[in-house]
A and B are shown apart, each in its own frame.
Chain A
Amino acid sequence: MLCERCGKNEATVHYSEIINGKKRSAALCADCAEKLGISAAPSPLDIFGAGSLFSGFFGDIFDHPKAVAASNVVRCPVCGATLSDIAAEGKVGCSECYRTFRAELSPTIRRIHGGVTYKGSQPAKDAPEAGGAGDKPVSELDALRAELYEAIKKEDFERAAELRDRIKALEA
């Protein structure tokens, strides 16, 4: 992919920002990124200027070695959010983000809540499937998501992209 600004060099910096809920992204080459004052170094809190009140929560996401390599690549199969999006906004894009980025989000969640696990009520067992539309079998979607999660863990992004498309098609 070529840089969206100069159209000459290979884009190596994938920049996105969310301001007041509006998302803007750009793929830039290192030169253009530097000219625009966007650091190509993995220090997203600088990139995002810690604009969100809660963005600090996720500062330590980027301590996770995999996160730096994968943050611009892996997208949540349901909402399309990347780890950078979540860090910038301080909020996830959907419930699936917690599964897609489980390992990366864990340190943050531990920091907010302490190293505790859930205690409390459980949702009703006979609840309908995801999305509440009641028309597609939940098991297939769930199985695909589980497979996608595995693919992401193994960093098999080709397989992940394929699975993501199938999930999207099923949900459409």
Chain B
Amino acid sequence: MSWYGKEGSMSGVVLSSRVRLARNVEGVPMGARLSAQKAAELIDGAGEALTGCGRVDFQRIDRMTAAAYAEEHLVSTEFASSDAPRALYKNEDEDTYIMVCEEDHFRIQSITPGYSLAEAYSRAAAAESKLAEKFRLAFDPELGYLTHCPTNLGTAMRASLMMFLPALTRKGAIAPLSRQLSKVGMTVRGMYGEGSDAVACLYQISNQVTLGITEEETIKKLTRLADTVINEELKCRGELLELDPDGVADVCSRSFGTLTHSRVISCREFMENWVNVRLGVSLRELSGKSADLGIPETLTYKTLDTALIEAQPAVLTLLAGGGELSPRERDIRRSSRLRERLGG
């Protein structure tokens, strides 16, 4: 079960924590210069190093299955859509994924549910150690880990949090937040659309700086910033409920009604309503479960986050059996799956 099917801490604001390490093998060409034979050696070698991991050969799976991995945020979209030889290794706990022959030879990615950056880092580092036993990883004492793109030099680590920020989005606070973060070497980007069009109100906050700062310092810094963002978001959510409790209850109830009673629902309409329902679950928590927002008490973030992933086109198509679906057929399937999931 992937990150979205597990309980995590601070899930009201943080859906998942992710640490990605880029690593390359000394003396082996990268990117377009990597031969098919060398790529195969890297892929097989990684398999020997990463004992206990399952292997998925991306050249042997169909486009839809590959796209579904990207929609689950388990691989990059570039990796999913490439034609080059490449493979994914995933551990048994399904929290660490190693892309072999992405832009870099290895992209180790650990994704843990909720607010758990340190845990994600330790898992990624464990997978890296296994690879380092088998391969001589490209490293320079001054530049750190040597990467295909010079922007990643250094720790070659990207630590990120997938954050749900509906109250800050409504307040128009994302643009100023983005400016503030960039001043301290961090960045924020919309997960489904950018800026004001970030319909799902989901943002990825991550470090930009990789040279001259240790992995631990990066994680501490990101955590400190995320704490501030979480507090601001929760404060704004509290204000929403205080200012107009009936209005909020109305919006949440209607959205829950739409998700559970539609028969045809587009991805966009789904996401707009999903935001309100997820916010509703959080507001009920904030109010000490006193607020009646028309959402059943049994509804969890885990269920909602699973619904979000299942509503995406490729995952939805696979769940429906994998055959080609027209957009309308997808909208019908999305709706029936939602009713099943959320009990409409």
- The chain A residues found within 8 Å of chain B, CB to CB, are 18, 21-23, 54, 57, 78-81, 89-96, 98-99, 105, 108-109, 112-114, 116-124, 126-133, 138, 141, 171
Contact = CB atoms under 8 A, between A and B. Distances in A.
A89 B132 CA distance: 28
A131 B33 contact: no
Given A93-B31, A116-B212, A120-B214, 8 more contacts: A78-B28, A93-B30, A93-B33, A109-B143, A113-B212, A120-B213, A127-B133, A131-B26
B45 interface: yes
Nearest to B103: A91
Contacts of B143: 98, 109, 118
Contacts of B146: 92, 95, 98
Interface of B: 24-33, 41-42, 45, 103, 125, 129, 132-146, 148-151, 153-155, 157, 209-215, 217
Contacts of A171: 27
A94 B29 contact: yes
A131 B154 contact: no
Contact of A95 (B27, B155, B215): B27
Contact of B140 (A54, A98, A138): A98
Nearest to A81: B33
A57 B45 contact: no
Contacts, number: 143
Contact of A122 (B29, B139, B209): B139
B211 A118 contact: yes
Contacts of B33: 79-81, 93-94
14 contacts: A18-B32, A22-B32, A92-B150, A95-B30, A112-B153, A113-B153, A116-B212, A118-B212, A121-B215, A122-B139, A124-B133, A127-B132, A130-B25, A131-B25
Nearest to A105: B150
B212 A79 contact: no
Contact of A124 (B26, B129, B210, B211): B129
B214 A94 contact: no
Contacts of A93: 29-31, 33
A90 B150 CA distance: 8
A116 B45 CA distance: 34
Contacts of A123: 132, 136-137, 139, 145
Contacts of A131: 25-28, 136
The 3 closest A-B pairs by CB, nearest first: A116-B212, A130-B27, A95-B138
Contacts of A119: 212-214, 217
Nearest to B144: A118
B148 to A, nearest CB: 5
Which of B146, B157, B209, B217 has the most chain A CB atoms closer than 10 A to its own CB?
A: B146
A116 B211 contact: yes
Contacts of A116: 211-212
Contacts of A23: 32
Contacts of B151: 54, 57, 112
Nearest to B21: A121
Given A18-B32, A123-B137, A118 B27 contact: no
Contacts of B215: 120-121
A124 to B, nearest CB: 4
Nearest to A85: B33
A98 to B, nearest CB: 5
A151 B132 CA distance: 31
A56 B319 CA distance: 43
A147 B210 CA distance: 30
B24 A95 contact: yes
A108 B151 CA distance: 10
Nearest to B132: A124
Contacts of A80: 33
Contacts of A90: 149
Nearest to B82: A21
A132 B134 contact: yes
A113 B209 contact: yes
